[in-house]
């Protein structure tokens, strides 16, 4: 089955700098890659997603890149702000059946230093 690895587990960056979180997946059939942000005491919130027919997607300060050949994808946050501090999860979903199998990475705790 699918396995998603996420690095780093913790990340601390200066406010205004960029943050990058990287994930790899094992199942070449995966074709959907969402990213979630989780704040303390809340459920994960979808912040951006990318499908396998696209190499990059941007939404304001957030961008995601996908390399299907290498089976890895990354989240880039530019001009970081204090409100970006949270736990971020990558995920991968194989399109092998009608069953819903989204597999999550283990998460990255991002801290923004003032």
Partner 1 sequence: DAGITQSPRHKVTETGTPVTLRCHQTENHRYMYWYRQDPGHGLRLIHYSYGVKDTDKGEVSDGYSVSRSKTEDFLLTLESATSSQTSVYFCAISERGQGDGNQPQHFGDGTRLSIL
Instruction: State the residues that interact with partner 1 by CB under 8 A.
Output: 1, 4, 6, 31-32, 34, 36, 41-46, 49, 51, 89, 93-102, 104-107
User: In which region does residue 82 sit, left (phi positive, over 0), alpha (psi from -120 to 50) or beta (all else)?
Assistant: alpha
In angstroms and rounded to an integer, the radius of gyration of the C-alpha atoms of the chain is 14
Shortest Å, Cβ 57 to partner 1: 13
Shortest Å, Cβ 49 to partner 1: 6
Shortest Å, Cβ 5 to partner 1: 10
First to last CA, the chain: 41
* Closer of 15 and 54 to partner 1 (Cβ): 54
């Amino acid at each position: 089955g699918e396995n998603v690895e996420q690095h780093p587990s913790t990340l601390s960056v200066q406010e205004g700098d960029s943050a990058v979180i990287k994930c790899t997946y094992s199942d070449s059939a995966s074709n959907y890659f969402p990213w979630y942000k989780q704040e303390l005491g809340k459920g994960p919130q979808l912040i951006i997603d990318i499908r396998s027919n696209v190499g990059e997607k941007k939404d304001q300060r957030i961008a995601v890149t996908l390399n299907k050949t290498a089976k890895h994808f990354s989240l880039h946050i530019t001009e970081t702000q204090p409100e970006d501090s949270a736990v971020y999860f990558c995920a991968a979903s194989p399109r092998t059946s009608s069953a819903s199998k989204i597999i999550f990475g283990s998460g990255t705790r991002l801290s923004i230093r003032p």
